[in-house]
Amino acid sequence: MSSTTSTRDDSGEATPPPVRPPLPTGATTTVDAKPKNALDRFFEITQRGSTVAREVRGGVVTFVTMAYIVILNPLILGGVEDVAGNALQSAQIGAATGLTAGVMTILFGVVARLPFALAAGLGINSFLAVAVVGQVTWPEAMGLVVINGLLIVLFGATGIRTAIFNAVPHALKAAITVGIGLFIAFIGFVDSGFVSRTPGGPPVQLGDGGSITSVPTFIFLIGLILIGVLVARKVPGGILIGIVASTIIAIVAQSFLKLGSSAEDPGGWHMTIPELPTSFVTIPDFGLVGQFDLFGSFGRIGALAATMLVFTLVFSNFFDAMGTMTGLAKNSGLAYKDGTFPRLRSAFVVEGLGAVAGGATSTSSNTVFVDSAAGIGEGARTGLSSVVVGALFLLSMFFTPLTLVVPIEVGSAALVVVGAMMMAQVKEIKFTKFAVALPVFLTIVTMPLTYSIANGIGVGFISWALINALSGRAKKVHWLMWIVAAGFTLYFVRGPIEALLGG
pLDDT digits (tens, 9 = 90+) for 436-484: 899 999 999 998 898 877 788 889 999 999 999 998 888 888 888 898 8
Instruction: State the Cα–Cα distance between residues 252 and 359, nearest whole angstrom.
Output: 40
DSSP-derived 3-state class of residue 450? helix
Q: Are 276 and 251 in contact (CB under 8 A)?
A: yes
The DSSP string of 195-236 is EEE-SSSSSEEETBTTB---HHHHHHHHHHHHHHHHHHTT-T
Instruction: State the Cα–Cα distance between residues 52 and 58, nearest whole angstrom.
Output: 10
Picking from 301, 307, 355, 296, the residue whose alpha carbon sits closest to that of residue 143 is: 296
In one letter, which amino acid is 310? V
What's the pLDDT at 12?
44
Q: Are 220 and 272 in contact (CB under 8 A)?
A: no
Picking from 333, 296, 281, 323, the residue whose alpha carbon sits closest to that of residue 448 is: 323
- Contact partners, residue 487, CB within 8 Å, separation at least 6: 315
Q: Are 4 and 18 in contact (CB under 8 A)?
A: no
Picking from 166, 107, 60, the residue whose alpha carbon sits closest to that of residue 392 is: 60
Q: What are phi and psi of 318, to 5 degrees?
A: -60, -55
Instruction: State the Cα–Cα distance between residues 310 and 317, nearest whole angstrom.
Output: 10
Is pTM beyond 0.85? Reply is no
Positions in the chain short of pLDDT 70: 1-33, 75, 123, 130, 236, 401-404, 498, 501-503
Q: Are 421 and 377 in contact (CB under 8 A)?
A: yes
Compute the CA torsion angle 67, 70, 75, 79 (nearest 10 deg): 180
What's the pLDDT at 381?
94
Angle in degrees, 0-180, between the axes of helices 434-450 and 453-468, rounded to the nearest 10: 160
Instruction: State the Cα–Cα distance between residues 495 and 492, nearest whole angstrom.
Output: 8
Q: Are 278 and 85 in contact (CB under 8 A)?
A: no
Rg (CA), the chain: 22
- Contact partners, residue 202, CB within 8 Å, separation at least 6: none
Q: What are phi and psi of 328, to 5 degrees?
A: -65, -40
Q: Are 119 and 393 in contact (CB under 8 A)?
A: yes
CB-hemisphere CA count at 13 Å for 167? Answer: 19
Q: How far is CA 205 from CA 104, 193, 210, 213, in A?
A: 38, 10, 6, 13
CB-hemisphere CA count at 13 Å for 275? Answer: 15
Q: Dihedral of CA 452/457/462/464: which sign? A: positive
162 sits in which H/E element: helix 160-167
pLDDT digits (tens, 9 = 90+) for 7-39: 444 444 444 444 434 333 344 455 556 778 899
Q: What are phi and psi of 399, to 5 degrees?
A: -125, 45
In one letter, which amino acid is 334? L
CB-hemisphere CA count at 13 Å for 375? Answer: 36
Q: How many CB atoms lie within 10 A of CB 304?
A: 13
Instruction: State the Cα–Cα distance between residues 433 and 420, nearest whole angstrom.
Output: 25
417 sits in which H/E element: helix 408-422
What's the pLDDT at 45?
93
Cα 417–chain centre separation: 16
